[in-house]
Amino acid sequence: MSRKVFSKTTGRLYLVILAAVLGACRQKTPELPSAVPEPVPAASDNSGSAVTIESGRGSVEIIEAAKPWPENTPAEVPKIPYGTIRKIIRTETPEANSWDMAIDGLPEHVLRDYEVALKAKGFQTTSMIVPEKEGDRGSVTGIKGPLSVVLIGSGRSMSLSIIQKQ
């Protein structure tokens, strides 16, 4: 199997697994007041713990609480300026680096806003967005050279994945 086929297959498998995990973890959101709150700056919680797992092929770091935005993400990827990042999973392998973030407290229109931000940074995007009472649900995918960015979720909770191929 060639390296390119392996990378594509691994990437697609990763997205399918991520979608399955998000679907399994879906929780009913509490009723919110009818007034739409303004987005708040991303919260910082440095009290959490981090675990690093290393193998011969790479490493995985899991951070339970994080800074507002990981400093080592590619500069071309637009930051999400609001919400609370509650978990980051950082993976380094010879084939790619990735950052997976669980973000809560997002405005209901974050999927549409992020698609606009990706396009402004030169990403080719595809999206599937379904408007709902609790906020949009669906996904936005952006590709630019070796970078792939996927924002998936519903309501005010999303999962952001950034993959940088080597």
pLDDT cut 70: percent of the chain above it: 65
Q: What are phi and psi of 110, to 5 degrees?
A: -60, -35
Does residue 31 fall inside a structural domain? no
Q: How many domains does the chain have?
A: 1
For the chain, the distance separating the N- and C-terminal CA atoms, rounded to the nearest angstrom, is 18
Does residue 4 fall inside a structural domain? no
Q: What is the pLDDT of residue 138?
A: 95
Whether residue 13 has pLDDT greater than 70? no
Q: What is the pLDDT of residue 60?
A: 72
Q: Which residue has the higher pLDDT, 104 or 60?
A: 104
Mean pLDDT (the chain, rounded) = 79
Does residue 27 fall inside a structural domain? no
Tell me the three state secondary structure of residue 117: helix
Does residue 122 fall inside a structural domain? yes
Does residue 17 fall inside a structural domain? no
Tell me the three state secondary structure of residue 24: helix
How much is the average pLDDT of 28-34?
50
How much is the average pLDDT of 1-13?
63
Q: What is the pLDDT of residue 74?
A: 94
Does residue 99 fall inside a structural domain? yes
Which residues lie closer than 8 Å to 7 by C-beta, 6 or more apart? 95, 96, 165
Which residues lie closer than 8 Å to 107 by C-beta, 6 or more apart? 36, 37, 39, 82, 113, 135, 156
Summarize pLDDT for 36-83 with one digit per residue, the tens.
445 444 444 444 566 777 776 776 767 776 567 888 899 999 999 888
Rounded CA-CA distance 15/44 in Å is: 27
Furthest CA-CA distance within the chain = 54
Rounded CA-CA distance 9/20 in Å is: 17
Summarize pLDDT for 82-103 with one digit per residue, the tens.
888 989 999 999 999 999 999 9
Q: Read off the CATH number of the domain in which 139 is found.
A: 3.40.1000
Does residue 132 fall inside a structural domain? yes
Does residue 96 fall inside a structural domain? yes
Which residues constitute the domain of residue 152? 40-165
